[in-house]
Chain A
Amino acid sequence: MSGWPGASIRVRLTAWYTAVFALMLIVYAAATFLAVRHEFREQLEDQRPDAPEAGAEERVEQQLREIAVVLVLGVPLIVLLAGAGGYVLARRALAPINQLGIEARRITADRLHQRLAAANAKDEIGRLTAVINDTLARLEASFDQLRRFTADASHELRTPLSVIRGIGEMTLRDTRTPAEYKDAMGSMLEEVDRLTRLVDTLLQLSRGEAGTVPLSREAVDLGQLTRDVVASLGILAEERQQRLTIDAGDRLCVSADRLVLRDAIANVVDNAIKYSPTGSTIAVRVDRNGDRATVSVTDEGPGIPPEHRERIFDRFYRIDEGRSRELGGTGLGLAIARWAVESNGGRISVDGTTGRGSVFRVVLPLARSGT
């Protein structure tokens, strides 16, 4: 069939069908003719011994010729009719595909919510339609995510920008004391710092997702790494009179990029400190489960309602917008954590009970040689 790359499926289908049909018909006709001739000749020989009839042989030959003519003329006619029928049938069978094409063409980036309809969901076309619809649904989901991200990102970037602008305009309005100018400038610089951090982190995330960040692989003692993070961030818990405990036993080696993994754990622990009430306890544990190592961070904070659990790892997703901003979060900490864990072959998840705290878990496969 690949002989005619330009011809439509319908033409190719008809041609093949007709060719096969014609061949079979010719074989059938030839066989019939040969069988008839054989039969006639036998009859002729049966008669011959008693009374050989003059001219009988010619008559038989004549009849055979007539039969041959009928067959030779009839076969092309039947083939032609069958071809025409096949063409019509092929067209009917393929019509839903054409329809599918026309419908699919109407679906553009802004109309991704539309789906293709199938007359019969069970047949081949129906299954094809279902596959296309699935693809459309996935596309729609990622388009939505992208759109939401772009909107969120511009919102996050715009906030510091409007603060900078506001401070600038307000300060220029009147003549002020040097101290006031200094204060205004400092406040603008704080916002610039926030913008810089935001852009840096976004860049890192998008590079990470595009897979252009080269990750190093080395054996990292997860227990030691977690102890380091806790030691480094412990001072923040102290300030809030929180108890930050660490329970990490023997060496548990995972194969990972140390700096990236450190980011992940630091962000999760920092998050727990930020959102837990003063005086509460945050427990960090490093355990081994079979061929995996788990870092769990349990806090006594407000917990995360189940409907938010999937999305808190999304960029800029916040449960309580005002509060999170007030605490100085960029809204990217957990997104960084997820990327960092997943790019090292692990998983990050959260559960717990609303109102009674959350448990964040980072699960990583153990390095093959390490124990």
Chain B
Amino acid sequence: MRILVVEDERKLAQVLSSALEAEHYEVTVAASGEDGFFRANAEAFDVVVLDLMLPGRSGLEVLQTLRQRRIETPVLILTARDSIDDRVRGLDLGADDYLVKPFAIAELLARIRALLRRGRPSEVLRLKAADLELDLVARRVIRGDRLLELTGREFDLLEYLLRHQGHLVSREMLARDVWKEPRRATPIDNVIDVQMTRLRRKVDADGTARLIHTVRGVGFVLQEGEP
């Protein structure tokens, strides 16, 4: 999978490319709007990560020109201005998703996975990890030979963790996607932590290998073995 990162801030570009390379994507970095446009025009990428504030040609202009030339590579825009106008303009011009700086790398990776998955049937009715099995139709969870009694919220939370299995999930992502709470001003982080503790108590009961891990300062990950 090839990803083009158009970002002029050198440090951020470095962080992005090493994070993406760690996920085994092939990364190309362009440091200006012109360079970014040239590469996106000349080569084939699976996803373009495009900063809006660029020297020379702005991100929005690059996006517009790409779409005018019928280059339909999925584009994820990065913006520091989280004014609604900017996002709407970006999405109107043909961006597929956006992230507001400062963002968590975990979230960027999740968005890129979502863009890459797009258009493919993802309807799996059973999610599995080690000896944990979640049945979306029956809304039933089994760990080993134990049937887990989960509340509605706990089930949704576990489903989300399983869908992002092996990948970090931030509190922000959980707040937005599981609690449907898009605003950071709402005091929801404590709720997430408490809910997660309860879920873990049920999933990782005594005598079983731990599946749900807390990564301090970042969020949570569901996987076999320590993160």
Contact = CB atoms under 8 A, between A and B. Distances in A.
Interface of A: 182-183, 185-190, 192-193, 196-197, 200-201, 203-204, 214, 232-233, 235-236, 239, 259, 262-263, 266-267, 270, 328, 332-333, 336
Interface of B: 82, 84, 102, 171, 179, 182-191, 194-195, 198, 215-218
Nearest to B184: A200
A23 to B, nearest CB: 65
Given A187-B217, A190-B217, A236 B185 contact: no
B93 to A, nearest CB: 21
Contacts of A270: 187, 190
A333 B183 CA distance: 13
Contacts of A182: 216
B183 A189 contact: no
Given A192-B102, A233-B191, A236-B191, 6 more contacts: A186-B216, A187-B216, A187-B217, A189-B218, A201-B184, A259-B183
Select the residue from B84, B187, B189, B190 with max chain A CB neighbours within 10 A: B187
A183 B216 CA distance: 7
Contacts of B217: 185-190, 192-193
**For the complex of A and B, 4 pairs with smallest distance between CB atoms:** A189-B217, A186-B216, A186-B217, A270-B187
A334 B103 CA distance: 26
B73 to A, nearest CB: 30
A186 B184 contact: no
Nearest to A201: B185
Nearest to A191: B217
A119 to B, nearest CB: 53
Contacts, number: 63
A266 B187 CA distance: 7
Contact of B185 (A204, A214, A233, A328): A204
Select the residue from B182, B185, B190 with max chain A CB neighbours within 10 A: B185
A336 B183 CA distance: 12
B180 to A, nearest CB: 10
B195 A263 contact: no
27 contacts: A186-B217, A187-B216, A187-B217, A188-B217, A189-B216, A189-B217, A190-B216, A190-B217, A192-B102, A192-B217, A193-B217, A196-B102, A196-B184, A197-B184, A200-B184, A235-B195, A235-B198, A236-B191, A259-B183, A263-B183, A266-B186, A266-B187, A267-B185, A267-B187, A270-B187, A270-B190, A328-B190
A196 B179 CA distance: 20
A67 B216 CA distance: 110
A63 B125 CA distance: 128
